[in-house]
Structure 1
Amino acid sequence: MDADELAALWRERLGSWAIPEEILAAAPADPWSYPLARFTSRTDRALAERDDGPTLTRMSEALPAGGTLLDVGSGPGAASLPLHERIGHLYAVDTSGEMLEELAARADKLGVPATTVEGRWPDVAGRVPEVDVTVAAHVVYNVPDLDRFLRALDERTRGRVVLELPNRHPMSWISPLWEHFHGIVRPVRPIAEDCVALAAALGFDVHVEERESPLERFDSLEELAASACHRICLEPSRAEEVGRTALELGMWPLPRDRWVTVWWDRPV
């Protein structure tokens, strides 16, 4: 398939993850939202215990000392700020102003000049300059128009583009509970391979590396149950029931995700 066909397929497959309207309407909270603390704790851990996996390695080797780095879907900066000693200027794009405030505070503490841009990529691509390296970590499963997203990353980068994503949709772990409590069979695609295929079809010289996630998704069954209630639109009071069900379904302990690093260099 060509790039247009692959982009349409990605959009269709991602759309199949939508939660049925009748379930969403009865949800006690937005099931797609994440608590800010989950992001900030991950960023602080990344700064305290630098993970020299393929994503950070590929960014570091392409970023000149004092170079410019663009972090798209930055959150508080877990993917970019660990390279603070090499960054001359950081440009961070996120839809959440709250996340960007957390990033700016950490960047200031680390002595990293940073410009934050609130908005959705690629709608705000014109508000950032061309940079040496661009990273988009754990973002693409939120992007229906992935072809536009990837092209804009490439156009704003003179050196290397680096993506990091789980090898399957980040909500895949909870599929057995959707079926148990709601009778809904969740999709399997898209997967990382679909993103790689699209990037290659767009003409990028794609390289791929995969590894086990350095992070456990949850530290306890209770944490899993609380998160599951939120994700599958159940009242928090049902957490104990959800925990028992997870045990019965063999969901605990959860295996670690597989993370995929996708990268390409711009032609010289």
Structure 2
Amino acid sequence: MDEQWRADLAGWGIPEEIAATAPADPWGHSPARFAERTDRALADPEGPTLARVAEALPPGGSVLDVGAGTGAASLPLATSMGELIAVDPSAAMLAELTSRADELGVPTRIITGRWPDVAAETPAADVAVSAHVVYNVPDLSDFLAELSAHARRRVVLELTERHPMSWLTPLWQHFHGITRPTRPTVHDVIAAAEALGHEVRHERRLAPLTRFAHLEELAESACRRLCLGQDRAEEVIAAVIELDLWPLPRDQWFTLWWESM
């Protein structure tokens, strides 16, 4: 199963000859954009992921947020937490999280690095959460096993039904003649967790917001992801309209959870 997951994920790689022409990092993420999402979550905390974490969290309990980013999956529970343990490879993301945690008065332990590479130096918590991370993880079983080993009560995952770059599939074909894979999916993640002996429950919902507010925002992101210069944004917009891709449908989000063994 691990081999299939790894192979499916590798299918989303960018060919070297295309990546070499990229004017910007096609895999990069903006801390500012992540921080906006966290601020929206703080202003209106809702959804099954927060609910599944909250119901397993004892008063003053601890949360381990793996791939925490700027804290959207954990900081909205500030009034219930006694400690937040935040793990992420990006110091810039963690700086945004730390500033918000300080404002909220949440004691926070920061661990900079990739999971499960830093698992040995990470303490256990009552609940472990990881939101929108697993499609970046080639060794899924190790990732999930260490997450479970660090959760005293429950593990909660949030992810899209399909690879989060799936919206670009028609544009990869249009601009580069590349057919993108259809896997992995959330069902592969469920199967991997069940293979580790967990009884996985899940809930699905529409993403709370559309991916892009306007076509220009989509074009800016698509140019970067497709390794195109921003001077081709109008060309991307024309292709999006020609291919009838706008407005993008909202993603299906899944919350998975299981109890610690």
Q: Is TM (by shorter chain) over 0.5?
A: yes
Counterpart-to-counterpart distance in 1, 2:209 and 2:190: 23
What's the counterpart of residue 36 of structure 1? 31
Q: Aligned match of 1:62 in 56, 59, 62? A: 56
Shift of 1:7: 1.4
Q: 1:210: how far off?
A: 0.7
Report the alpha carbon displacement of residue 61 of structure 1 after superposing the two structures with TM.
0.2
Match runs of 1:91-240 below 5 Å: 91-240=85-234
Deviation of the 1:266 alpha carbon? 1.1
Letter in 1 for 2:4: L
Query: Deviations for 1:47-97, whole angstroms, at most 9, x for unmatched residues?
Result: 01112x111110000001100000000001000000000000000000001
Q: Give the Cα–Cα distance (whole angstroms) in 2 for the partners of residues 22 and 75 of structure 1.
A: 30
**1:88 is paired with a residue of what secondary structure?**
strand
Structure-1 residue corresponding to 2:17:
22
% identical aligned pairs: 60
| Matched AA of 2:73 | A
Deviation at 1:240, TM superposition (A): 0.8
The letter for the 2-side match of 1:233 is C
Distance 2:251 2:122 in 1: 32
Residue by residue over 1:148-173, the C-alpha shift from the partner in whole angstroms, topping out at 9 and shown as x without a partner, is 00000000111000000000000000
After the TM superposition, list the runs of 4 or more consecutive aligned residues in structure 1 that deviate by more than 4 angstroms. Answer: none
Work out the CA distance in 2 between the residues paired with 1:65 and 1:215.
Answer: 31
Residue 130 of structure 1 deviates from its aligned partner by 1.4
The whole-number CA distance in structure 2 between the counterparts of 1:170 and 1:228 is 13
The match for 1:254 is: 248
**What is aligned with 1:3?**
none
- Give the AA of the match of 2:188: D
One-letter code of the match for 2:252?
R
For residue 85 of structure 1, what is the aligned residue in structure 2?
A: 79
When the two chains are superposed, the root-mean-square deviation of aligned CA atoms in Å is: 0.7
Name the SS of the counterpart of 1:41 in structure 2.
Answer: helix
* 2-structure distance, mates of 1:134, 1:193: 20
Unmatched runs of 5 consecutive residues or more in structure 1: 1-5
Matched residues in 2 for 1:103 and 1:196: separation?
Answer: 29
In 2, Cα distance between the equivalents of 1:218 and 1:249? 17
Per the alignment, in what secondary structure is the counterpart of residue 179 of structure 1? helix
> Hey, what's the Cα distance between the residues in 1 that align with 2:19 and 2:40?
33
SS in 2 for 1:8: helix
Distance 2:72 2:121 in 1: 22
Hey, what's the Cα distance between the residues in 2 that align with 1:186 and 1:21? 15
Equivalent position to 1:50, from 28, 45, 68: 45
Whether the 8 Å CA contact 2:206–2:250 is kept in 1: the answer is yes
Structure 1: how far apart are the matches of 2:118 and 2:107?
20
Contiguous gaps of at least 5 residues in structure 2: none
Deviation at 1:37, TM superposition (A): 1.2
Distance in structure 1 (CA, Å) of the matches to 2:240 and 2:257: 36
